Structure 1
Amino acid sequence: MTGSYALVSSPTLSRDIFGFTQVVVAATAFGKVFGIDSGNSEILWSRVLGLGWAAEIGGRIHPVQLYVTRKVTDGGDPEVVLVTQIRADNTLVDTVFFHVNAVNGEDVRQASKKSDVFKGLDIIQGPRLEGFLLQTEPKAVVLLDEFLQVYLYHNKSATQAAFAKFSLSDSPQSKLSDKLVAYTTWSLNLPPSESIQQLLPAASRRPIASIGRVVGNRTTLYKYLNPRLFPLLAVCPTTNICGLYLVDSTKDTVVYYVQINGHGGCNIKTALTGNWDIEWSLLSYMREKSWMRKRLGALGHAFSEKSLHFTAYEQALMFPHAINALAPTSTKFGMSSKDLNVAIENHRIQSFQRAMLKPRRPKRKVTAEEAEEFLIEYDPVLPDDPHRVFSRNYEVSFWDSS
């Protein structure tokens, strides 16, 4: 969440020209929401979230989701919508929205002053089942309750018209109520021994560059671009096997599946961007994949059999340190950058060059054709290059003063 660009007459809260200084909006389980300056870690503002009717009998507030509904590029101050669940002491649960100005912490709905307790909007009289951000103009938050009824915020005519475009059919059942109702369009059955550990978001909603890569033999490889892909992590407790699925969210098609030995737990980190997926397991084992296809267009049709005509390249790599998080970088226009940034267990942030992670690296001496693609010979061990470390704070485990 970034502020406006800095000018000569700008106040203290302003963004540098590269956008490194940002406002981090964080909500806690203690019922407060904060705006933090990422440049100096100072708290810019804080608000106490109100319990509403539950304040009379007591209860707790649990933040569950945070959505960015307006950015600087949209004009005006950036805004976020915080989705919370208020659980009263009498076991009743309500889902409440808080619409926050990310720069100054003001209530966008103007239902409460900044000096008062933040008053929320009761959106669902009960728990929320799932939610997502409607990626249209205007942006809107969509929630489903336990009966699969749809709730929109803002519930305006423009939002309703934008949401209507996502409807798959005019079901007569949906017209018997003033609420839209969601229905199951497909389901995915996992093996009986596996259980879902985590559902991860889709690859990217930003534009992805679809540029063909000419290989050494003068053929062209095109990215397999499917914005509907999402990773699913599964675990088998009896065999200690971890499963990674890449599923097409339009239908129940498993585009890719791989099994990984857990070795004491399925602590898998994965990142999916464009046609490039990286996963890392407990023993610093990294598997990198990319999907290529020939002359099928940029996206293809979701229900066309040609959408599965692709070739997957994969290689396994090892790194001497455990990785807590990883994320590939990309530019504004979808051109995948050359680096993969990782957070290591020894409190360092390190970068790996994209050339080291190409899954088509030959496992022999590089030929002349492969040299034209700047491919390097495959090495199963990633080099721990200190020059690629961003952070410079190192822990000292032992000191001998003798």
Structure 2
Amino acid sequence: MKIGCPKEIKPQEFRVGITPNAAREAVENGHEVMIETKAGLGSGFDDAAYEAVGATIIGSAEEVFAVADMIVKVKEPQAPERKMLRRGQLLFTYLHLAPDPDQTRDLLDSGCTAIAYETVTDRSGGLPLLAPMSEVAGRLAPQVGAWTLQKANGGRGVLMGGVPGVGPARVIVIGGGVVGTHAARIAAGMGADVTVLDRSLPRLRYLDDVFGSVFNTGYSTAGLMAELLPLADMVIGAVLIPGAAAPKLVTKAQLSDMKPGAVLVDVAIDQGGCFETSRATTHGDPIYEVDGVMHYCVANMPGAVARTSTIALGNATLPFMLALANKGWKQACADDPHLLAGLNVHDGKLTYAAVGEALGLDVVSAADLVNG
């Protein structure tokens, strides 16, 4: 199979879909790997690193899309890239379709087959291709939130860990999954007073058993949220409903209850955001203010630490990429129901129920497409 990897064109996105190690594995499996020139530079991989393992360097994204059977990326294809997709071509990347009707329509119109990293599952019910970036984003969230809290950036001027005689920042983490757990660990490690909210009692018990008094836990209700928001210096939104739009858990009206200069960090922004006032921002212009509350809503947070993120993502995607290349998408999905869960679009048909529900579109069964 001809596997193509274009350079990411989303603003301030420095990751790359295929590492040299992944390219080596694909070449050794008998596939042709084509990398757009300079695609890996943002992650510290030059063209020579790819050529050394047998990959071919291609001069432009147009050439990559024109010849590749499978496109492997990091971020969802941008509008110019979607115009280059074609019927029968396989796209393997993050998609986050639920809050993005334009992308969904373009992918359906292209006729391509699109498998989304974020909806591939595993035997334990986890999301193995989302988890590495969730870990990175979770660990970054307190770091960027602490920066936003600085007075020069519009924040309250509160130090996360405080100093002797001055209390620490109070941080609320909404969601106790992968993102929330990592965010809470780092925020607590910075000395903050942290409370994690979740609606799963088993998850809260797990967090309490594993982390004990490192941070507090609470059962997430509207009443508890209303009680904690006025006390918070920082709120980290870390909720996830796989493949679906994120629920809005903090309303615009509630901002008036918060301290001036408090910070909202929305890690769920890829799925539409979990705060009513969230809108996607970039690393070049990451923060904005609404009613005195600072918002950090960068839609590709892991891109800030591109090398770490690229290697972590590449480790996770490699077995699936090889399965798709070795067997073709249909046989690979027939053999692996967890990979089948990643199928979102095929030949003009939407195949992921949560996306259809969010966008009001008809959905066909992915299993029927594979077995039919």
| TM, length-normalised to structure 2 | 0.25
Larger radius of gyration: 1
| TM, length-normalised to structure 1 | 0.24
